[in-house]
Copies of this chain bind each other. A is one copy, B any other.
């Protein structure tokens, strides 16, 4: 277990918004995350909600822009917001392209060199980070939910579907649901996983839900004015896959809302309540 370094801590809504860094085994280097402790965490272990951010984001993005702390303080939820990839990897092509590499880890365990040495965000989020949280914070990690936005919505859906029983609740904002079929995924997945459609399917929510459903309703919010809606997001594909698999899905489409955190902050409370209900 690596040592946790506190970058900063701020009193917020009666709890503490902290920013932390540690040496990651999964990602073979330093990783950063933000964590909000609600006031209740001073007295008892609290359930945990992971929020996975999208392309170009860091551990600061959702912490600053989503506006989740207010209701998390009321509901007694710990919020964990990891960075979206390892940083300063020095790999050729790891920076300079917002759709691939640093800031674009896609929540996979890469199998192709050089990415396989550092880009293991799936193991990081599923195994290493929860153990670190359990060891360092008053967290009841048996009660965990997962949420995310865009690439992070893809992360939340695939992680919840791949690990039945690990998460009691899952939701997403404007998620990439079929990376095997859309430009973002068709660009990133081959470079991380090789030219192997079966490997891509292991990180494709539409494929995964056909193999194993999630024991609970999946909540997805999608803005109708989202410029990525038609080419990259295609929620109708997940809607159809869920219908065929018998997966309960609440897919809400919101007129006028775009892909930004202005959209997320407008509906984050509904997601927190969705998770709090499942996390008890």
Contact = CB atoms under 8 A, between A and B. Distances in A.
A214 to B, nearest CB: 29
Contacts of A70: 67, 70, 265-266, 269
A11 B256 contact: yes
A262 interface: yes
B266 A14 contact: yes
Interface in A15-37: 17
Contacts of A257: 11
A263 interface: yes
A65 B10 CA distance: 14
Number of copies: 2
A186 interface: no
A13 interface: yes
Contacts of A14: 266
Nearest to A63: B262
A261 B266 CA distance: 19
A64 interface: yes
A260 interface: yes
A12 interface: yes
Contact of A10 (B13, B260, B269): B260
Interface in A44-72: 64-65, 67, 69-70
A258 B16 CA distance: 11
Contact of A266 (B13, B254, B258, B265): B13
A15 B261 CA distance: 14
A103 to B, nearest CB: 19
A14 B269 CA distance: 14
A17 B260 CA distance: 11
Contacts of A260: 10
Interface of A: 10-14, 17, 64-65, 67, 69-70, 223, 225, 254, 256-258, 260-263, 265-266, 269
Closest 8 pairs (CB-CB, A-B): A10-B262, A11-B256, A12-B262, A67-B67, A11-B257, A13-B266, A17-B262, A12-B266
